[in-house]
Amino acid sequence: MNGLTQAAQDYLVIRRALGFKLKLHAHLLPDLVAFLDEAGASFVTTDLAVQWATQPAGSATWHAARLSIVRGFARHLATIDARTQIPPPGLLRRPGHASRRAVPYLYSSHDITALMAAAAGLRPLPAATYQTLIGLLAVGGLRIGEALRLDRDDLDDEHSVLVVRDTKFGKSREVPLHETTLAALHAYLRRRDDLRPTATGPSLFISTTGTRLLYKVVQPTFAKLCQQAGLQPRSPRCRPRIHDLRHSLAVSTLLDWYRADADVGALLPRLSTLLGHVDPASTYWYLEAAPELLALAAGRLQGAAEDLS
């Protein structure tokens, strides 16, 4: 068994352990490995990947799908063989397929501190609101829409949780709060009540007029805060978004677990519940979103294989 054959099998094992069925991958990856072997290549190159993807007769959509499979496999290979070339997105674009999933902008603790400092320069009420909102998103894993829909009564002091209602999948969940987060939320409520005692409605986060804070206002304000904090796009598809505060929490949590040699499989349902995912397979997407995570997962699999050999 050559190295690419073994790598393909390992890749399928990792992805299936993450909840993916990969029926098409299981059929096509051996064919890709045979093609590379016939070409005398011991690693993936972009030219060979495109040649293989477009080799059979078929539609542009089929060719793009084949290249997408190579791209995922190449990302895995790149963690164990630096010679690997990952075919860039867009080489074989599907007809009419203009939108692509954004690459998460993973915020560091320094980035979040810079955002909070930028928010402090707003007028008193917006300053308190955006500092608290950014802090909650960074530690709570809420979607921005979920945070904006929060009411004061959703803050459960007795059990130190936030009740997140009517989520993306029509369910509600409880988000546990650290004592410092709970204290920060109460400090915000006291501050906003001092600044806007005539706030209307039950909303937790309010605008300068005392009404519920709206996403169409939050989004451009957050973009300005990013500029003031010096946060620049890392690529055309990786720009700082408020939703990526949630992604950053998920990735940092998984990184901490892997570095601590924890049983990630056993812990993952906790993170899935916190994030409001339907199942852990959705949470495992973050392994692909962060190359460091994929490398750690691959390293753990390799170590397990060596223990069994």
Q: Is 105 one of the catalytic residues?
A: no
User: Active site residue: 27, 123, 168, 224, which one?
Assistant: 168
- Distances in Å between the Cα of 137 and the Cα atoms of 220, 241, 271, 274, 287 are 17, 12, 15, 12, 20
Q: Where are the beta strands (DSSP E) in the chain?
A: 155-156, 161-164, 173-176
Reduced to 3 states (helix: H, G, I; strand: E, B; else coil), residue 202 is: coil
Q: Is 243 one of the catalytic residues?
A: yes
- Distances in Å between the Cα of 138 and the Cα atoms of 116, 171, 224, 241, 305 are 11, 22, 18, 12, 36
Instruction: For residues 169 and 197, give the distance between their C-alpha atoms in angstroms, rounded to a whole number.
Output: 35
User: Active site residue: 246, 247, 258, 284, which one?
Assistant: 246
What number of other Cβ atoms are within 10 A of residue 14's Cβ? 18
Instruction: For residues 20 and 171, give the distance between their C-alpha atoms in angstroms, rounded to a whole number.
Output: 24
What number of other Cβ atoms are within 10 A of residue 20's Cβ? 15
Q: Is 190 one of the catalytic residues?
A: no
User: Active site residue: 93, 143, 152, 237, which one?
Assistant: 143
Angle at 120 between CA 116 and CA 126, to 5 degrees: 100
Q: Is 286 one of the catalytic residues?
A: yes
**Catalytic amino acids?**
143, 168, 243, 246, 277, 286
